[in-house]
Structure 1
Amino acid sequence: MQRMKRPAIFFDRDGVLNEDDGYVYETTKLKWIDGAREAVKTANDAGYLVFVVTNQSGVARGFFDEHHVQALHEWMAAELAGIGAHVDAFEYCPYHPDAVIERYRQVSHRRKPAPGMITDLLERFPVDIGRSILIGDKPTDLEAARAAGVHGILFSGGNLAEFVRSVLHPGRNIGN
């Protein structure tokens, strides 16, 4: 039996869900973007799968380890659960062609602007690609979305929940 396909929202992490203050890997230093948690809940409530796709070259640069990224994502998931929201999967790419740590020094099909994190999720989950979007804050995010066949939308700041509502329900007045 084939699973029902659902639309998905792919969120970039740094600069979209949380403030991009350099290489964020500590829970005490993560600052949520205004409305970020509520944006995830809005997507959940609308029946969307929710994914996070994030380049984490800080691992390759030796600033932190992969377990720090995983621990931060677990903490983010717990924070979201506190308001009844969830992320279906967190994907990250620790690789960088100029890495100081040799095992991470490579060109990766998962590092945005390459679409690998997105296409890996498309293989694992029943995603309706035509109704799915990626929200990112950089051109590389949108390039990855385009390469995966997903519509990319640039988020340039403000309240993320209002932004997501305006994308999901374009005709509604969201009261800015």
Structure 2
Amino acid sequence: MPYNGDPDLVAPMPGALSGLERIRALGIPVGVVSNQSGIGRGILTRAQVEAVNARVEQLLGPFDVWEICPHRAEDRCPCRKPAPRMLVDACSTLGVAPRRTVFIGDIGADVQAAAAAGCTGILVPTAVTLQTEVDAAAHVAVDLAAAIDLCLDEGGRS
């Protein structure tokens, strides 16, 4: 849900919890990397975003890292996806080389950021994903479970 500042509206994607449990059981660290331009636009406060993120963790378990960009696209900051900085920083925090990292996202900027950071990007299309983004993605999965299967089949990447 775009610009969500209400923790009560958080609803995990189908298969998110079971997929994360599967990854965590293997000892693979997991994180969230998210553009949050609602902060920069004045639509959301940082406190609202943090409350939503806390609700995500209540529903899906703890994440090893959170990287959030509060800037608007027109700010041209170095952290906003498709720029690679948030992914590089997340990898650094986790102590994992980008080349051993898989980033799952639902728009072209996600897979572009992954490629720019040296990670493998997997696109899981949703209603907001453009067909041109699907066509341009090197790795596409029909849902989160299939994306996790792809991650685990990537020669031991984490």
- Measure, in 1, the Cα distance between the counterparts of 2:50 and 2:81: 19
Q: Which of 1 and 2 has higher RCO (CA within 8 Å, sep 6+)?
A: 1
Contact 1:58 1:64 in 2 (8 A): yes
Q: Which of 66, 69, 72 is the equivalent residue of 1:93?
A: 69
Contact 2:81–2:109 (Cα < 8 Å) also in 1: yes
1:5-16 to 2 correspondence within 5 Å? none
Equivalent position of 1:163 in the other structure: 147
What is the TM-score of this pair, normalised by structure 1? 0.71
Aligned partner letter, 2:33: V
> C-alpha separation between the residues in 1 aligned to 2:116 and 2:153?
25
**Structure 2 residues not aligned, in runs of 5+:** 127-141
CA shift, 1:166, in A, is 4.2
Dislocated runs of 4+, deviation >6 Å: none
1:146 corresponds to which residue? 115
Q: Deviations over 1:146-173 (max 9, x none)?
A: 1110011111255423431343147xxx
For each residue in 1:85-137, what CA deviation from the matched residue of structure 2 results, as whole angstroms up to 9, or x when unmatched? Answer: x3101111010144xxxxxxx32111000011111122222103332111111
Task: Give 1:67 deviation, angstroms.
Answer: 0.9
1:135 to 104, 112, 115: 104
Aligned to 2:90: 121
* Higher helix fraction (1 or 2): 2
CA RMSD of aligned residues (A): 1.9
The answer on whether the counterparts of 2:14 and 2:144 sit within 8 Å (CA) in structure 1 is yes
Match of 1:4 in 2: none
1:111 aligns with 2:87: no
Aligned in 2, Cα 1:146/1:166: closer, same or farther, shift over 3 Å? closer
Q: 67, 90, 96: which one pairs with 2:47?
A: 67
Local SS of the residue matching 1:49: coil
Q: Secondary structure in 2 aligned to 1:152?
A: strand
Q: Tell me the amino acid that sits aligned with residue 107 of structure 1.
A: R
TM-score calculated relative to the size of structure 2: 0.79
Q: Work out the CA distance in 2 between the residues paired with 1:146 and 1:169.
A: 18
Instruction: Choose from 5, 17, 20 the match for 1:40.
Output: 20
Q: In structure 2, what is the equivalent of residue 29 of structure 1?
A: 9
Q: Look up the SS of the partner of 2:38 in the other structure.
A: helix
